[in-house]
Structure formats: C-alpha cells, structure tokens
Amino acid sequence: MNDFVQSSSPQHDSPPPRARSHERLRAAVRAAVCVVLLGSVMWLLRNPLGGLPPLGLFVDVWHGAYSNARAADEPAKEELSLQGLSAPVKVYRDERGVPHIFAQNDRDAVLTVGYLTAKDRLFQMEFQTRAAAGRLSEIIGEAMVENDKYLRRTGMMLGAERSWAQILDRAAKGSTSATVGKTMLEAYSQGVNAYIASLGEPEMPFEFRLLGVKRADIEAWTPLKTLLINQLMALDLAFTIQTTDVKIALLETVLGADAVAELYPDHSPMPLPHNPEPKGVMRPASVVYTRSTEALARSFHDVQTPHDAQNTIPQTTSRQKSEDVQLAEHLRVLSRIEAALAAAGCEQSEGKGSNNWVVAGARTQSGKPLLAGDPHLNLSMPSIWYELHIVTPAMNVYGVTIPGAPLVIIGFNDAVAWSPTNTGADVLDFYSITFDGTQQQRYRHNGEWKPVREEIRPIRVKGKPDVLDTMRFTHWGPVITQHKQTLAIRWTAHEASSIIEAIWGFNHARNWQECSEAQRKWDVPAQNIVYADRDGNIALRSCGVYPIRQKGHGRGIHNGSTDEGAWTGYVPFDSVPASLNPERGWLQSANQEPVPPDYPYYLGYNWTNPWRAMRISEVLATTSTLKAADMQALQLDVQVQQFRQMQPLMKACGALERVADSTKHRALKHLLAWNGVASQESKETLLFKLFWDTFTRRVWDELPDSLAGEVPPVPSQDVLVNLVLHKPDAVWFDAQHTPEREHAAMICQRALLEALDSLVAKYGTNAENWKWGRHHTIVLRHLLRSSAVKPLWRGPYPFQGFSSTVLPAGGMQSTHSASWRMVADFARGKPEARGVFPGGPSGNPFSKWYDSQVQDWLAGRLYTLYKPASAQEFSSGKVSQELIFKP
Amino acid sequence: MKWWLVLFAGLASSGLHALVGWELALIVPVCCTFFVTERAWLQGLVITVFAWCVLMLANYVLAPEPMVRLLPTLAGFINAPAALLPVASMLLAALVGTLAGVLGASLRQLLARQG
C-alpha cells in the first residue's frame, strides 16, 4: 500500500531570514490558537453548562457514560478481597441478578450486603440519606438550600443521632441486642465503604456524573446513614398527612363544627377493623405510661430551665392574632414543609398505602397458612426495594430490604414470614410557639420563659460557599419559622429507635414468641405486620410507638405554651392492636382504621378509606380452600368498590331514560351492567371515572375553592358513600347554584349525564377508544423525579386498576402502586414464596438488571424466590455470576 | 507518514485515552505531526478518530448489551436519535485531532533550528 500521507521531505532551499521569521510568527500564532481552542474544548467537556451535565459524559467514548455501560456488564466469575471479613463469603447472583449470600457468620454476611448494595445502588443510598439529613444542596446545588433547611427541621437527623448514641450506650453497658445492632451497622458501613474505596471517577454512578458530583464528594458510609434511611421511610409514611388537620380546622370557620364533624369524622362510617371478633384479639391492657412526661421532655431538650423569677412571663402579653388567621399561616408553613418533602421524594399521593393479609390453615387448600403482602409506595427507578437472600449458620432469610439497610425488611426465613402495611397513625404533632422577642432566645411554656437551644450547622452547596443554618430546639422538638409563625415538631421518629434490633429479630425468628419479642423493639415507623409460621400460627400486630396526649388526641395545632398537647406516654406494647389466630381464620390490613371505635386509645384519624380492606375481606371470607394462586390473584384484583356501592343509585336515578343519543345510551347501559372490574380492556371504567369525579365535585360544592391558598381536603370517599346509602336527603346533595332542593339521586343523574357528554366530547364516539388502558397509565419515575432525567424513567405503561382497588392505581397517570408483591405458602412446612417488584437489582440504567422485572410486574407475574440452604445446594443452572469475597 | 505508523499512533492514542483520558492522549497526534510538514491536520484527525473508533469498538466488545441501552438513553437527554452520539463523538475526535495535528506541525515550525 502507498503511503497514507506524504512524508516530509528535506528542504533544500532555505527561505530568507525575514521570511523565516515571519513563518515562525505565524506558526506561533497557529499553535497558540490551537492551544486555546483545545483548552476550550477540554473545559467545555469537563464542566456543566447552563444546568446541563458536562458534555464529556455524552461524547467521551471511554470515560464518559460509556464507562458506566462497561461497568454494567459484570464478569461471570470474580474474586475480590473484602477487608473486614473473618472468612470467605460466596455470592451467587441468580438468573434475575438477585444476590444470594453464603457467609459463615452474620457479620460477614452483612458486610457483604453492604458491599453489594453499594455496588448496585450507591446513588440511591447517597441521595436518600442526603435528603434525610437535609443535604441535597451538596449534590444538586443552590436551588435545594431552602428545602434542605425544612428537611433539617423535621428532625430526622436528631432521631438518627439519638438512635446511634443509644445503641452505643446500651452496647457499652452490655446489652446483647444493642451489641448486635452496633455490629450490624458497623459491618454494613464497612462493606459499603469497601466499595466506595474501589470507585474511580469514571465508575461513579451515572446520576452523580449527570449532576456533576465529583468522586471526592462521595463520603464514607456510617451507621448514622443507615439510621437516616429509616427516618426517611418514617417521614414518607407519617409526615405527609399533617396538613389535613389544619385545613379541617380552617374549614370549621366556613362550614361550622357540626358539619366538619360529619364530613371529617374521627372514625370511618364504614369501619373494618383488622379483626372484629373478640377471640384472637389480644385485648388492650390497662394504661401504663412507659415514660414520665418529664423524661420525655428532657429527651428533647438538654437545657435545664431554672425556675427563677426572671423566667416568669409578665401578665401582659402581646396582642393575639385571631385563631383563623393563625391557622391559615400555620397551613402555609406546613405546605412549605410538604413542598420540601416532595423534593426529597416523599409525596402525598393517591395510591400510597399497602395491603397485607394472612390466612390460617383452616381456610387453605393445603391446611397450612398463606401470607401475602404488597406495600404501595412511590414506584421509582431504581426501585425502593433491593431483593436478597442471606444464608449464615444462624439464618436463612429471603426478601427485600431498602438499600442502606443491612437486613431483610419484608420476607421469610425457614420458619416464619412477615409483611407490613403502614398503620397511618398520628405520631407527629405541631405546637405553636411564642417567642420572647425577635431574637428567639426564649419561648413561653407553662407561664415561664424557657431558653431555646441553638445549633448552627453549615449547609454545603455545590459550587457555592457554605450557608450557615441556625436551628432552634424547644423541649417539644425542632422549630420551623416562616412569616413570623413558629411551629415546633414532636414526632416519634425524634426518639432513639431500636428498629435495627427488631429487624434482626425478624430475620432470625423461629416462632411466634421470638417474632413477638422482635415486634416489641419495632418502634418507628408504625406498621401493621402480618405474620405466619410453620407451626400454623397467624397474627397481625400494629407494631410501633403511639403517643398518648394529655388532651386525648393529636388533631390540630397544639398550643405550645401549655402542656395541653403534651405527650404523657406511649400506648403499652401489650395494648397495641394485635390479633393471634382469630377464629375466622384470616387477618388483613389495608391502611384502614385498625381498631373498632371503642378501642381505648387515640391512634389517629384521617384513615384510608376501607375499599381495599372491604374487597380483601370479601374474598378471604367467602373462600375456604384458598391457595397461593388465589393470593396472587387477589393482589391483582381491580374490582372498583366505589362502583359497587354506587351501582344501585346509578341504576335507580333515572339517567338512562333521559339519554336520547344512541351512543351515549349504549355506553350508560353498559356501565350500569358493568361487573366493576377496571381492566385495561374495560370501556366502562373511563365513564365511571368521569362520573365519579363529577359526582364528587357536585356533591362537595359547599367546599370553598381555596383555603388560605390551598385546596381544601375532600371528605373521604366512604363518608360520601355512607351519605348516599344512609342519608340520600342530606343537605350536602343540595346543589348550591340551583333554587330547588336536590337529593342524592338527582345529583347522581346529573353527574351521569355530564359524564356521558364528557366521554363523547373528550374521547369520541368510537367505543374502542374508551378502553381504560388507552388512557390510564402507570409511570416509574427516576428517584430524582425531575423530568430532565426522563430517559431514566420507565413507562408510562397502560395499566389497570382504579383509586383504592386492591391493585391500586389512582388518577389517570399513576405513580404509586404495589412496590413489591410477595405470597408465602407454608404448604410444605417451611415457607416458600413468590414475589416481584417493578425494577431490577441494579441502579445502573445501562444494566440489563435496571428494569428487568418491569414487564413481569406489569403482567402480574411472580418469580419463585429461590432459597437454597447452602452454596452447595445452589443450582448451577441458575448462576449468572459467582463472586468470592476473601478476607 | 506511513499508514502503519498512523495505525500504530492511533492504537497508542487509544491506549493513552483509556489510561489517562482523551486530553493527554492528544500528545500522540501532536508528537506524530511534529515530524511532518504536509497535511499535518489530516494526520492528527485520522490518528484521533481512529483511536476513538478503536475505543468505541472495545466498548461493544466488552459490554455489548449495555451499549445497546446506553445510546438511546443518552440520546434521550437531548431528544436526538441514538446514532447521533457516536457521530458527535467522532466529530469531536476529528476536531481535537485536527487541532492537535496543526499544533504539532506548528510547534515543529516554531522550534525548527535557524539555518
């Protein structure tokens, strides 16, 4: 082949010196221009521009995102050194990428779990702990500073620090369970840190690189971070319901107290407690205060208040604002907190909740228990859950954990299975605070001025100077100030928690007694945990701590200047709602009020409507030969209870006779004869949705459009249905804009006619276009939620279901639904289970295991959860990767 | 420059790119073009584009499946077709290679002995 490019040849004729000098100058200019241009390109590729990620991430074919793609393809066999192990650990990833960890002791297993979860989900772990600590500005930037301030003021860090301090203290004093907890937390951290230490800049999780976060910004994992993960979970499950009671209090000024009591009752008008029958219910014990008021107060406030004359408040106080104005301002503060929570991924959303149930052998085909659970949380990419299997001489446990937590949170071992739902109890109170002057150094309490404790911590901001943040604490808890209004927060998550010890207990439990002991340590977040074991027991207990208030309830904003809203203790463990082996042979929870109205303690209000619980109860009560497939089918059940309740009125209201148009007539006729199943193919669901929205809007036309700038809370659906069924002439059915007096049937008729008009106007006359799945979708958003990272989302996918069906899918584009489905079957003695979650093991968006389970989840398929007792038993055909960790 | 020298330089550049980054890998085209007088820009371009092609190919060999997922994902961020990204990468390689080539030749002229 010829020369590709001509070689240089010696120059025979040298140019004159002047020309040469000129040539050299031109060369110098050319070189300088090249250097400047190359420098500019280098700078452009390395630095983010205008909020965009660094361009090098997209175009550098080796160290850009391509390096994340290469990291996604793991070798079939790998041997790694893992510092801190006492013996080799073998890990098999099965054909779904689920790690099965075979270790010679628990500590080694947990250390390996730390390494693996970090390898698969480091960004998620870091993002969530930074959210909980109010440190999102560090990775996202200046825009998050205000949110971080609010997140810090929820007190998540306070509780985590207390928990860790208590574990250390109790371990030092010889507590076995605290020592175990400490060991687990430290081993897990060590495993995570071993992975972090192995990371180079190009191997950093893709999202960090998108955000322009540098390797040096990734700090070591600590036990505190694991505890923060639990705090964030508690926040997600408990904090987001708090604006409702302020809104309801404000509504009293519009509607009156009686009306509010009718529309927003403390107890559901259609109660469905976990277990209505006396037998099997563990009866509440007499009230025993677990801690004194003083002890509780001290735990929040280290400063002792001297009782001297100087601290006594003068009788003349500043002018009080009217209560309504104050409530409106409180509402604004709370709404601002909710906005900050949403930025951290904790949103109030239709569909958030969970189901679980357990059936005794007397009602199953096999004669052995069945257990099912499906927590309904934000469906994110990567998933909130991480599936794993841990085998040590002390346990063989399988299930899901939250990345950042060391052990299985929902799962089963060789003897027992368990699954939680959110109790939704009132475990958080707000107290209005009156400061002495603008310096906020003292606050009023029981006729005295008490000192405020101040804590100044910096907020590190990406690419900007640190912002100093002064947090203030009263004996109630951290305070939030906005527009001169100050609220203090008291929350069970501010207390030291022993949740890690509880989870360890569940993982190791061999029988009801051991599991019950573990439940004793379960404090925050409060959860209804169903249980079954190979001895044939079934149980359901609302595990957690529930405050007892001096004034008997936790509704509204308490006056922080007195002790009227003070916590005087917790509901004793033996008195929390619990049932063991009920005569009817099954137990269920679906976030409904767990107890009948005569339960002696206040647990909360604002419970989820009973539709899911109603449907689950119906199926479990009517079948006596249940099998695992029935459990699976029930998890996918989409029968709309609202329709079933409304159907008689819809038929009787006379709407059909008033429809002249043949297309509309046919549509309504089909709706009235509908079986209520909101499948993707159903054409009736869309019309029912239009009707239900219209009906609700028409009935609640008395509610103001805006309540201090916020949307007022719509009464619960069971309140509405209860009125339809039992008070069809209630004043609420009277339309505000007409002179006549309407009743339920008239509003129902108008709503149906309006819905038909909307159906044709919006979706046309072709019935094929009315199929629910064409308009109703589900989307799995990325953790960052931002639409700027939509390529990392999955969906939207056509989806079945309706608001509060057993398989929930509220709204027209759902973001919350079953985040994990599990069915455990004790037919062969030891539990065997099947499960699925939407997502996959890996958080790397270029990995085949990023979204590998999404299609099966959408189709409602479950995987067999393969749980061999040893590495030797592991079927070689199932191995997709073998990892050997050596000390 | 001989074609095999260009090939060799391209391989050396891709090795350096993988080890220490594309910025330092430009030393290769700069050095190579230091010794040529004609069309140095083209030699720089060819060396760098060849090096980036080698690395792109290596990505597909090392991680075929993730690579299939990578391109549409990345392209999704800028609402562009997936094929645009490799093209953009090669255009960038061509640009920086050209600049490196010109720089090498200019340096030679600048440092040439007065004679």
| Closest residue, chain A, to B59 (C-alpha) | A70
What is the C-alpha separation between A526 and A233, in angstroms, rounded? 11
Residue B1 has pLDDT above 90, yes or no: no
Asked if the Cβ–Cβ distance from A70 to B46 is below 8 Å, we say: no
Strands A89-93, A816-818: parallel, antiparallel or unpaired by DSSP? unpaired
Count of domains for chain A: 1
Contacting B residues, span 69-88, partner chain A, CB-CB under 8 Å: 69-70, 72-78, 85-86, 88
Q: What is the pLDDT of residue A386?
A: 98
Tell me the one-letter amino acid at A461: V
pLDDT tens track for A270-297: 988 887 776 667 655 433 333 333 333 3
Q: What is the pLDDT of residue A283?
A: 56
Asked if the Cβ–Cβ distance from A73 to B107 is below 8 Å, we say: no
What is the domain range of residue A703? Answer: 641-770
Query: Are A102 and A391 contacting, i.e. CB atoms less than 8 angstroms apart?
Result: yes
Locate tokens 């990428």: which residue? A97
Contacting B residues, span 5-64, partner chain A, CB-CB under 8 Å: 6, 17-18, 21-23, 26, 35-39, 42-43, 46, 52, 55-56, 59, 62-64
| Mean pLDDT for chain A overall | 90
A787-807: b or e for each residue (b if 16 or more CB lie within 10 Å)?
Answer: eebeebbbbbbbbbbbbbbbb
Q: What is the pLDDT of residue A300?
A: 36
Q: Is B100 on the interface with A (CB under 8 A)?
A: yes
Residue A704 is assigned to a structural domain of this protein:
yes
What is the C-alpha separation between A703 and A701, in angstroms, rounded? 5
SS3 A463: coil
Q: What is the pLDDT of residue A531?
A: 98
Radius of gyration, alpha carbons of chain B: 16
Asked if the Cβ–Cβ distance from B89 to A1 is below 8 Å, we say: no
Q: What is the pLDDT of residue A255?
A: 84
Q: How many CB atoms lie within 10 A of CB A700?
A: 14
Q: How confident is the model at residue B53 (pLDDT cuts 50, 70, 90)?
A: very high
What is the C-alpha separation between A236 and A238, in angstroms, rounded? 6
Q: Tokens in use for A240?
A: 């987001």
The sign one gets for the Cα dihedral A651, A652, A655, A658 is positive
What is the C-alpha separation between A68 and A829, in angstroms, rounded? 44
Half-sphere exposure of A106 (CA within 13 A, CB side): 19
Which CATH number do you get for residue A747? 1.10.1400.10
Residue A713 is assigned to a structural domain of this protein:
yes
CB-CB neighbors (< 8 A) of B38 in chain A: 5-6, 8
Residue A654 is assigned to a structural domain of this protein:
yes
Q: What is the pLDDT of residue A274?
A: 85
Asked if the Cβ–Cβ distance from A790 to B67 is below 8 Å, we say: no
Residue A752 is assigned to a structural domain of this protein:
yes
pLDDT tens track for B63-97: 999 999 999 999 999 888 999 999 999 999 999 99
Task: Concatenate the DSSP letters of all residues of A748-786 into one string.
Answer: HHHHHHHHHHHHHHHH-S-GGGG-HHHH-EEEEEETT--
| Closest residue, chain A, to B2 (C-alpha) | A3
Query: Are A313 and A449 contacting, i.e. CB atoms less than 8 angstroms apart?
Result: yes
Residue A313 is assigned to a structural domain of this protein:
no
Locate tokens 């800049």: which residue? A201
What is the C-alpha separation between B102 and B37, in angstroms, rounded? 10
What is the C-alpha separation between A568 and A551, in angstroms, rounded? 10
Asked if the Cβ–Cβ distance from A61 to B55 is below 8 Å, we say: yes
What is the C-alpha separation between A839 and A847, in angstroms, rounded? 11
Min Cα distance A58 → chain B (Å) is: 7
| Closest residue, chain A, to B60 (C-alpha) | A70
How much of chain B, in percent, has pLDDT values that exceed 90?
A: 75
Question: C-alpha distances in angstroms, A700 versus A251, A351, A662, B16?
Answer: 13, 22, 31, 70
Which of A66, A790, A880 should be substituted to probe chain B, the one whose Cβ sees the most B Cβ atoms within 10 Å?
A66
Min Cα distance A60 → chain B (Å) is: 7
Averaged pLDDT in 10-residue chunks for chain A of 887 residues? 43 62 85 94 87 88 96 94 97 98 98 98 96 94 92 94 97 96 98 96 92 92 97 84 72 84 89 78 47 37 35 35 67 76 73 90 97 95 98 98 97 98 93 87 95 95 94 94 83 96 98 97 97 97 96 88 95 95 95 91 90 96 94 98 97 95 97 98 98 96 82 89 96 93 96 98 97 97 92 97 95 94 97 98 97 98 98 96 97
Radius of gyration, alpha carbons of chain A: 30
| Closest residue, chain A, to B52 (C-alpha) | A61
Asked if the Cβ–Cβ distance from B114 to A20 is below 8 Å, we say: yes
For chain A, the first-to-last Cα distance in angstroms comes to 56
Asked if the Cβ–Cβ distance from A791 to B42 is below 8 Å, we say: no
Residues 6+ apart with CB under 8 A from A148: A134, A135, A136, A137, A340, A459, A469
Strands A99-102, A386-392: parallel, antiparallel or unpaired by DSSP? parallel
Residue A446 is assigned to a structural domain of this protein:
no
Residue A410 is assigned to a structural domain of this protein:
no
Question: Least CB-CB distance to A38: which of B69, B96, B109?
Answer: B96
Residues 6+ apart with CB under 8 A from A536: A360, A361, A368, A369, A826
Residue A346 is assigned to a structural domain of this protein:
no
Question: Least CB-CB distance to B17: which of A62, A792, A845?
Answer: A62
